[in-house]
Amino acid sequence: MHRALSRFGRRRTLQTGALIAVVLGLLAWWLQPRGDEGDPSGPLTFSTGVPSGVYQRYGERLEDAL
């Protein structure tokens, strides 16, 4: 282990360790739960089969092509 440290140098090893610690800290902060902020709220709207909908028009055009 001492040879590996002397080959890369102490400064480079400390910089790499600090960088890894910062990256892991940021990753842990980003992945932590945020309470109610991340939960969806409000009404959800789904596409239905209304005649004026995009999917209905696409079906009509596709039917003409077939």
The pTM of this model reads 0.44
Helix (H, G, I), strand (E, B) or coil at 44: coil
41 occurs within a structural domain: no
- State residue 9's pLDDT score: 86
Q: Which amino acid is at 44?
A: L
58 occurs within a structural domain: no
Dist CA 37 CA 47 (whole Å) = 26
- Residues 17-56 have pLDDT tens digits of 999 999 999 999 888 877 666 566 777 666 665 656 666 6
56 occurs within a structural domain: no
Q: What domain range is 25 assigned to? A: 1-30
61 occurs within a structural domain: no
Total domain count for the chain?
1
19 occurs within a structural domain: yes
